[in-house]
Amino acid sequence: MSDIRPEERLAAALARLILAPDAPPARHIAVGAASPLPAAACWLVKKLGHPVRLSLLHKRSGNPFTEGTRELFDLTGQGRIDLFFLGGGQIDGRANLNLVGTGAWPGQAVRFPGSFGSAFMYMMAHRTILFREEHSPRVLVEQVDNISASGVNEPGVYRRGHAQALVTGKCVFAFHPDRARFSLLSLHPGETVESIRAATGFGFDVPDDVPQTPDPTDQELTLLRGAVCDEMLETYPEFCARVFDRKIAA
């Protein structure tokens, strides 16, 4: 198949991270509101035949939660959410997230959607994959203006999990909580180490060999454009129309 869309590549990259053999198993995955890319990746994993339980907070029908986020937080606190996804208006090199706003507290220069449960989910889920399509120095900053959710904590502060990776529109970073630092994991087509450095406000490690982010396989593309889109049409109609050229039948 040709004409791979950027969102399809990102969904496949997220799916590979979900299934990474060196990461804790993802048996129960939760996806928050307004997260079509992670939702697509999760459905792709499930349609590929992997036995995962999906709890999609934004799903309009068939939602497993009767009381919304209260049940999600309860499950996470019990250690029953293996994987969650988070983004941020700002993300820094220590994997801190800013969902409040820019400028001094309370971040009123540019307002973001708000922290909601990000701090709790980040610390209590077994692992978190960070994602943000925009890759620019205004988003990936040296230090966030306000910390909504911390990437690492001082010794003695309990947390169950950390960020596994950060997926952007230009590359994939791996995160190393032991040294609170990202390293370059793969480059999307057309990108170089130099172009990533120019677009990133924080420092990161670069291994000797940085591969290109793999294209989705023919099977993955077929599933994304077919069975995955079928599952997402009701919840994310605009995303499906824009990415997969499909709309809900009138």
Asked if residue 40 has pLDDT above 50, the reply is yes
Q: Which residue has the higher pLDDT, 202 or 65?
A: 202
What's phi and psi for 173, nearest 5 deg? -105, 140
The label of the residue with tokens 């997926």 reads 167
- For the chain, the average pLDDT equals 93
The pLDDT-based confidence of 250 (bands split at 50, 70, 90) is: low
The predicted structure's pLDDT at residue 2:
56
The pLDDT of 53-72, averaged and rounded, is 75
Whole-angstrom distance, CA of residue 248 vs CA of residue 250: 6
To the nearest whole percent, how much of the chain has pLDDT over 90? 80
Instruction: Give percent of the chain with pLDDT exceeding 70.
Output: 95
Mean pLDDT of 80-102: 95
In this prediction, residue 1 carries a pLDDT of: 44
Assigned token pair, 45: 């994993």
Higher pLDDT, 110 or 62: 110
Sign of CA dihedral 166, 58, 134, 245: positive
Phi-psi region of 120 (alpha: psi -120 to 50; beta: other; left: phi over 0): alpha
Q: Are 28 and 224 in contact (CB under 8 A)?
A: no
Contacts with 156 (C-beta within 8 Å, 6 or more apart), sequence order: none
Nearest to 204 by CA among 187, 226, 221, 189: 187
202 pLDDT more than 90: yes
DSSP 39-87: HHHHHHHHHTT---EEEETT-SSS-S-SSTHHHHHHHHHTT---EEEE-
pLDDT at 231 over 60: yes
Global confidence as pTM? 0.93
